Chains A and B, each alone.
Chain A
């Protein structure tokens, strides 16, 4: 008898739950798990930032935040998936600077764009890390001035590797080359890892890299850092000047990561998400995770992030246009 009673009451509760589900979902976000789309493979910058953030957001939202790596076409597949997702706040996107490059490259090649930037609305900037110019230690250049002087002597002969054509590491180098008025030889690779391997093997002469991966190589005496792209020196490399200090005014570049939602997401849901990310970023566990990765947190809330993004996107669009289509450069 008692068992039957329990079963009945459980069934009743279940029925209530099912009946009440849509109503609940409309009333209060979040009523079920949130998916965080990471458009890059596990182990990449976006993934390594996204996972601890998702873990910290769960505690605030009281709902699971599931990381889903939707990989392909340099991030275009995942970003397009998020841009076209149902705008209910249950799909959020963890993206990098390349979010502004892909639509520009699509434009350059007259392709049907994977997504438009106005399909996505910014929630918060999470991190922003300036790239560093590194050369193999056996190269003669001790300063940027040496490098530029040599490059002017033999235009197009000093080579650099990159994570891929129009990729972030390529754009950073082009900004510097343009600012210094020099011509370098570009050897694109498929990702930042192979680009670093080629530099360490001495197959190319320079690379603009994120600071985390180069510091052990600099300490071991394999690589030398000449300058950074930030607006101030990196705490881990206090002796390395910035391009700004050296008089290159517009040479500023960051690999940043930020959270986005589909543009049509309702304002109150966006507000909840903004508040969630703000608290998550401030949590001790997230700070600890980012310290281990040696990536500084650079939190900006949606309005300031929007300004930052607009400026960065304009800069990147200009850089992509400057590089142009490869064939047309001959």
Chain B
């Protein structure tokens, strides 16, 4: 412990130098903007700025890029809450209750809770990273394809808990999402599927164009169909802050979201995207008022927003402790170190204490900066809602097209977004929820690859899922959930029949 404190002191001595403070602030600011711009997520933001870090020293480079990553998690919630447009994939769930809160005139409260939740989650996760990184990293590496598969099967059951509407409709949407996820190259055989000669579809359909289309574009198109324009809101200053009750309601979800997000975040791969979905489903499941979800439940904002920030920090655990490129974003950050001749590996913490502890300390500072940056912004951002829709909507559309195009410089992505906007209008007119489509699309490629990699590891022997302890636990848990779901639906059916007098 004394050693940790000593190291932390060293870290703060690095991180509080004016130069590092500047880079941490620049990273947080760029991250917030990148998160706000629909389409451009943290990966695109970090990739775009990577060359700019070549002229810096390695500590400054990683402080800057790290700031962009967790800053984007703060910024991503803004457009979700105000305009129902997910700024990046991890903010999809915030669109549901965050936007519902906005429609009820609680936009300021939603933004403030998202910022506070992100701050708490970010700070607690840095504590976890600091104290537990080496043992957790070893645990994380034990997640191979079979364990990943178990986790994702659990994720499938999360789908069912995402909405309060008809189960059949939810599952239909989930299956649509799963099908969309099969587009693109088959990693295990090299065949292209449903590609129709478009090389851009070789990597599959991106999550962001689909999410922006289904949520954001459809909202704008639906507004066009109304006889009267949506009411322009005039938020009052005293309504900007969350009420005592809203704060009390968000405390527990923030705590649960933090723990959940952190542990999902340390697992190598892209599972961190599902952290916000899992958190939302968990909150809805254990809530005393599940019917409030989708109508502006505070927990539906607090949980997912905390989870995605904690996951962003968790992803640094295997990266810093073992030098493992545990996901696309850590891979780019490791590349930033390699350019400076710092070879990332298990010895990084021992050989580069200034870099490691400087980065840890900068994350404490960065999270504080983001809170200070974001809370006053709430007042400013909420005023965007005062802009008449005739001006606001075209501007939003322009930003959506720009952001989605910028990620891969692909016009195909823009077309996907527009098509998904049309599809979203149809689905929502018929009372289908669109969130399960997005989660299905997120899960499908990961699930398929994990399953087939597992079977490649075992040469086709399915027992690999029950002979490995972590995988067996996860799969067993999923089976229990499935059986519980079937039992409750059977009970419900029996109760319905009894009510109608079909059975005595």
Contact = CB atoms under 8 A, between A and B. Distances in A.
Contact of B457 (A43, A67, A187): A187
A48 B141 contact: no
Contact of B347 (A164, A187, A193, A219): A219
A112 B456 CA distance: 29
Contacts of A197: 141, 268, 318, 324-326
B185 A73 contact: yes
Contact of A216 (B192, B269, B328, B347): B347
Contacts of B200: 72-73, 77
B322 interface: yes
B344 A216 contact: yes
B157 to A, nearest CB: 25
Interface string A142-153: 000000000000
A48 B343 contact: no
A77 B48 CA distance: 19
Nearest to A203: B144
A220 B323 CA distance: 11
Interface in B183-219: 185, 187-192, 197, 199-200, 202-203
A60 interface: no
A53 interface: no
A185 B459 contact: yes
A188 B341 contact: no
A156 B188 CA distance: 17
B4 interface: no
Nearest to B336: A43
A73 B343 contact: no
Interface string A45-63: 0011001100000000000
Interface string A179-192: 00000011111110
B343 A201 contact: no
Interface residues of A, number: 63
B449 interface: yes
Contacts of B142: 201-202
Contacts of A200: 141, 322, 324
B199 A76 contact: yes
Contacts of A76: 199, 202
Interface in B306-323: 318, 322-323
User: Which of A187, A215, A325 lies at the interface centre, i.e. has the most chain B CB atoms within 10 A of its CB?
Assistant: A187
Interface residues of B, number: 54
Contacts of A187: 145, 453, 456-457
A71 interface: yes
Given A69-B47, A215-B343, A165 B199 contact: no
A41 B48 CA distance: 10
A105 interface: yes
A246 B322 CA distance: 32
A196 interface: yes
Given A193-B325, A196-B325, A200-B322, A43 B332 contact: yes
Interface string A288-326: 010111100000000000000000000000000000011
Contact of B189 (A185, A194, A326): A326
B338 interface: yes
A67 B48 CA distance: 11
Contacts of A80: 199
User: Which of B197, B325, B328 lies at the interface centre, i.e. has the most chain A CB atoms within 10 A of its CB?
Assistant: B325
A293 B54 CA distance: 12
A73 B325 contact: no
B340 interface: yes
A68 B190 CA distance: 26
B242 interface: no
Nearest to A45: B335
A92 B142 CA distance: 43
A216 B199 contact: no
B393 interface: no
A325 to B, nearest CB: 7
A270 interface: no
Interface in B264-308: 268-269
Contacts of A114: 199
A70 B409 contact: yes
Contacts of A194: 268-269, 325
A166 interface: yes
B202 A109 contact: no
B347 A220 contact: yes
A71 B189 CA distance: 21
A204 B144 CA distance: 9
A156 B328 CA distance: 31
Given A72-B203, A73-B185, A114-B199, A109 B345 contact: no
27 contacts: A41-B332, A42-B50, A43-B331, A43-B334, A67-B51, A73-B199, A73-B202, A76-B199, A105-B190, A108-B190, A109-B191, A165-B187, A166-B190, A187-B456, A188-B456, A197-B141, A200-B324, A201-B143, A201-B144, A202-B141, A203-B457, A215-B343, A216-B347, A216-B348, A219-B345, A293-B339, A325-B189
- Top 7 A-B residue pairs of the complex, sorted by shortest distance between their CB atoms: A216-B345, A43-B335, A73-B202, A203-B144, A193-B325, A292-B341, A201-B141
Interface of A: 41-44, 47-48, 51-52, 67-74, 76-77, 80, 105, 108-109, 111-112, 114, 156-157, 159, 164-166, 185-191, 193-194, 196-198, 200-204, 212, 215-217, 219-220, 222, 289, 291-294, 325-327
Given A42-B332, A159-B457, A294-B341, 17 more contacts: A51-B54, A69-B47, A73-B202, A109-B190, A165-B190, A166-B190, A188-B187, A191-B331, A193-B331, A197-B325, A200-B322, A203-B457, A219-B345, A220-B346, A292-B339, A294-B343, A326-B189
Interface of B: 47-48, 50-51, 54, 141-145, 185, 187-192, 197, 199-200, 202-203, 268-269, 318, 322-326, 328, 331-332, 334-336, 338-341, 343-348, 408-410, 449, 453, 456-457, 459
